[in-house]
Structure 1
C-alpha cells in the first residue's frame, strides 16, 4: 500500500510512518529497524566464515538411497555367520518396520584389505583397495525406521519438520569458491522420501538451496541445467536486461528495507546469467581423457550412469562448488531389499563400486582428496535377521549401521565405533546422525553450535540442540 505525502509524491508505509511519527513512536521504530539490521548482519556468514581451522574445503556426499546393508558390506560379523538361522539372543527394537525372523548370515564373503587389514565384502572389490584412505563409521544410529523420516533426518537433521538441508547449511556457512557456479549442487536427486526438502534451504535465504541436475528416475545424460542458454538474445543484450531488472529491484529494496526473498531473487538472476558460460564447461566431459572415462566406467553399460555422476562431482569439486551430492536411486526400491537381497545388492554394488573407487583415485591423483571430504551412506542399515519366510531379505535398521568418510582430514584405515556381535545395535563410540553432522561441519571449520540462523523467534542449527564432534576420527 502506498500513500501521498505533502509534496504529492507517493511513499510506502514505512516512509509514511517515518515521516509522520514523533517522539517515542519514532524512537521505537528506529530501534526496531536497528535490531533488524543488526540481525541481518549477524546472519551474514561471510564476515567470519570459520569457527576453527578447516581440514576440508568441500563435501561430496554419495547417497545410497534405500539403506544398504552394513552387515553385507563394511561391518563384518563372524558370529552372525556362525549363528545363521538361530533366534537373536536379545530383544529386538520395540518399533520395527516389518515383522522379522531369525538371524541371517551374509551370503557374501569378506576379505581383509590394505595395511589396516579391514574386512570388506566381495560386493565392493574396487573400493576395497582404498580402505587405507577410508574411515568406516560402524556405529551410526538414528531414530526413524521409515524411509521418509530417516532420509529427512540424514539430510536435514529433522525427521518431522521442514529444516534446511546439510548442503544448504554448508553453503550458507561458507558459500561457493566460484562466483559463477552454485555453492550446492545435487546430481540426479530422488524425488521420493523427502524429495526437494532433502536439498532445500527452508527458512535460510533461497540462494543457499541445492541446484538439482536431473532426477533419479532419468539417466545422468539428462542431468543438465534447464534453459542454460538463450538462443534468442545475445549475452550483451541479456546483460542490459539483467542490469535494468536489478536496478529496479534494488531501488525497491532501498525504499522498503531488507527483504530476504527479493534479495535472494536478485542473486539468483545474477548467478543464472554467470552460469551460462561456466556450467556448460563444467559438464563438458569431452575434455576428459579416454583413460579417465574408462576408469569411471563410462564405457560399461552397468557403471556408465553412476560413473558420469561421480565424474561430474569431481569436475564441480575442482571448480569450487562447496557441497556436491550424488544420489544412487534409479528406481523406487534401490538398496531397499526386503526380499531379493542377493540379486538387489549385487546389482546395486556393481553399478557404484567402480565409479566410487575411481572418484577416490581421481581426487587423490589431483591433490584434491586432502581437502575434499567424501561421505558415503544411506538413511539407515539393514537388520541382521531375515524378513519373511524366504530368508532373502532384511528389514530397515536405524539402530546401528555404517557410513564412511574419506579425505578431508579424517583418519584413513580406521574402523570407528562398533555394533554388537550380530550388527543390530550400535554399542561402542555411538555416533548419532546429529554427531555425524557436527563432525562434518567441524572438518569444514564450522562449529555446529555457532552455525545458527534466527527464525521465528529462536536460533536454529543443523544439529538442533544435539550433536557431538567425534574428534577421534580426525587426523
Structure 2
C-alpha cells in the first residue's frame, strides 16, 4: 500500500501521519496491515447516496407515539374472556413454561390470573375488539392495523426501550430516527430530519436517557433534536444578550472558515457535520418559533385534539406539533409519553393514561387523513413490552398490578403503506403466548425500513471493521400488514 493511499484511508495528511507515527518506515509497514477504515466510520462501498432508496418507498415520514412504561394490552387491545372466568385461579405451569421473570415476581409462590377490569366491544367494519378505555381510537379502528403478536427478549424498561429504538439492548447504537435520517436525508433544510418530543403523566415515571435518540456512530447531524415546551423550544438556539443576527452570521462565517481549514488538515468527517449543525441552528432560529407557534391553528384543531392541546408539553399538544413538523418535511418525529408502568394501581394508571392519549392519538390519524397526508405518513403507537395476565403481589380489587411481559403485547400502525382495518397476530386464550404470526422487534424495524424503500440488510454503516445495521443480524419484513 502506498503512502498516498494509506494517508487517505486514515484521514490524515503525510505530515500529521509521520509526526504521530514517529518511527519511520517501520510504521508504514505496520500501517499497511491495518484495516483501512479502522479509525473512522464510513458508509459501506455499496451504500446509496442519502435520499436514494433501494426501491420505491410507500412512506415519506414517521410519527412514532411511544408509550413508555408499557401499557397493558389486556385492558386495551387483547380481549381475553377466559381471564375473567378464571379470575383468581393459578396460571397453569404448562402455559408459563418456566419463562424468565423480573425480580419483582420471580419469588412469587403463586401466579393468580386476573381478568381485565375494562369491558371490550367490537368496532368498525373490521370488527376489531377494543377496550372501553379507548372510545376515540375505536372511531378510527378501520384506519389502523392492530398487531397483537409483538414480542421481545428484553424484560426490563431501559434495555427494552433501547432495543425498540436502536435494535440492540446495549446502549451506543444509532436510533431508528438517526438511521432514517442517514438513509433519507432531509426534506427541509431549515429543520432537523429527526425531532423528539417528551410528555409525562402522573405516577411511576420510568426515566428516558437522551442516548435513545442519539446518533451512535453515525455523524452527529443525524441525532434527534429535542423540542421542549416553553419560551425556548431548543436550548441554546437563540442569540445571547447583546448579539444580533448580523453579528451571529459574521461569527459563523469566520468559524466555518477555521473549521474548513481543520477539515482539510485532518479530514475528520465530524468537522463537516459540526459545520452543518451550526448552520442548521442558525436557520432554526426562525423555523422553530414558527412551527411551535400555534396561533395560526384554527379552533377546530384544538377541538379535534382535545383541550390539553392548548397546553404546551402535553401529549395532545405534542401530537399537534408532530403534525406541524411533518407538514414541514421533518422525516421522523418521535413522541415519548412517560408513566405507563403499572406494578400497582393498574386500574387507576391505565384509566388516566388511556384518557391522556386516546383522543389525541385518534385525532392525529383523522387530521392526517383530512389533509391527505396519511397515505405517506407512518403512524406508530405502542410501548416496549406488555403486561402479565397474572397479578403482581397481593391482589386487591382497586389496587393491583401486572408485571412486565415481553412474550406477547400489542402495538398499532397506520398510514404509510400499512394495510388498514386489520388485526394481525393472535395470542392464546390466556393472553400469555403467541399462537399465530409472531412479530419480533427486528421484524418491526425491518418493515419500517421497507416502507421507506430500504432493504434492512443493505442499509448499513461500516464502523470499526464491522458492517452495522438497525436490525443487527436478524429481522424479516412483515408482509401481511403491507397495503
Question: Common fold, TM-score beyond 0.5?
Answer: yes
| Partner SS state of residue 188, structure 2 | coil
User: Helix, strand or coil: the match of 2:314?
Assistant: helix
Tell me the equivalent position of 1:7.
none
**Given the alignment, which residue of 139, 142, 145 partners 1:132?**
142
Paired residues for 1:55-134 under 5 Å? 55-89=58-92, 90-92=94-96, 93-97=98-102, 98-99=104-105, 101-134=111-144
Q: Is the 8 A contact 2:309 2:318 kept in 1?
A: no
Who is 1:297 aligned against?
306
1:198 is matched with: 212
Q: Is the 8 A contact 2:146 2:422 kept in 1?
A: yes
Distance 1:473 1:32, change over 3 A: closer
- In the alignment, what sits opposite 1:400? 408
Question: How far is the alpha carbon of 1:17 from its aligned partner?
Answer: 9.5
C-alpha change, 1:299 and 1:62, in structure 2 (3 Å) is: closer
13 and 396 in structure 1: CA distance in 2 versus 1, 3 angstrom threshold = same
Shift of 1:222: 6.4
Aligned counterparts of 1:302 and 1:248: Cα–Cα separation in 2: 43
CA contact (8 A) 1:411 1:473 kept: yes
Selected match of 1:173 from 173, 176, 183: 183
Of residues 456, 462, 470, the one that matches 1:462 is 470
Distance 1:300 1:318, change over 3 A: closer
Aligned twin of 1:445: 453
User: How has the CA–CA distance of structure 1 residues 32 and 158 changed in structure 2, closer, same or farther, with 3 Å as cutoff?
Assistant: closer
Q: Which residue of 2 aligns with 1:155?
A: 165
Q: Distance in 2 between matches of 1:284 and 1:48?
A: 29
1:303 Cα offset (Å):
11
Counterparts in 2 of 1:208 and 1:192: CA distance versus 1, 3 Å: farther
Q: 1:304: Cα distance to partner?
A: 8.1
TM-score in terms of structure 2 length: 0.87
- TM-score scaled to structure 1, two decimals? 0.88
* Separation (CA, whole Å) in 1 of partners of 2:246 and 2:89: 73
Q: 1:213 maps to which residue?
A: 227
Change (3 A) 1:178 1:408: same
Contact 2:73 2:386 in 1 (8 A): yes
Q: Is the 8 A contact 1:298 1:305 kept in 2?
A: no
Uncovered stretches (5+) of structure 1, i.e. residues with no partner: 1-9, 215-219
Q: In the alignment, which residue of structure 2 is the partner of 1:143?
A: 153
Separation in 2 of the partners of 1:448 and 1:385? 37
Alpha-carbon distance in 2 for matches of 1:222, 1:297: 22
Distance across 2 between alignment mates of 1:371 and 1:286: 26
Output one character per residue of 1:232-280: Cα deviation in whole Å (capped at 9) or x when no partner.
Answer: 33323322211111111112211222x1322221111111011111111
Question: Is 1:45–1:174's contact at 8 Å kept on the other side of the alignment?
Answer: no
With over 3 angstroms needed to count, the CA separation of the structure-2 counterparts of 1:221 and 1:13, relative to structure 1, is: closer
Q: 1:423 to 1:251 in 2, by over 3 A?
A: same
Residues 34 and 13 from structure 1, CA distance in 2 versus in 1: closer, same or farther, beyond 3 angstroms?
Answer: same
TM-superposed CA distance for 1:162, in Å, is 1.9
Task: Map Cα deviations across residues 126-182 of structure 1 (whole Å, 9 max, x no partner).
Answer: 011011010011100001211111111111111124211111111111122101100
Q: Which among 45, 49, 57 is matched to residue 46 of structure 1?
A: 49
CA distance in 1, matches of 2:50, 2:354: 43
Aligned to 2:261: 251
| Structure 1 residue 88 displacement after superposition | 1.9
Name the CA distance, whole Å, in 1 between partners of 2:276 and 2:435: 47
1:24-43 map, 5 Å: 39=42, 42=45
Deviation sequence 1:109-137 (CA, Å, 0-9, x none): 11111110101101110011011010011
Whole-Å Cα distance in 1 between the matches of residues 172 and 44 of structure 2? 24
Q: Match of 1:128, SS?
A: helix
Question: 1:58·1:373 contact (CA, 8 Å) conserved in 2?
Answer: yes
Counterpart in the other structure of 1:323: 332
1:6 alignment counterpart = none
Could you tell me whether the CA contact under 8 Å between 1:296 and 1:303 is conserved in 2?
no
Q: From the superposition, tell whether residues 159 and 33 of structure 1 become closer, same or farther in structure 2 (CA, over 3 Å).
A: closer
Q: Which runs of 5+ in 2 are unaligned?
A: 1-12
CA contact (8 A) 2:311 2:317 kept: no
Instruction: Please say if 1:260 is aligned against 2:263.
Output: no
Deviations along 1:189-229, one digit per CA (max 9) or x if unpaired, are 78955511210111111111111123xxxxx4467112332
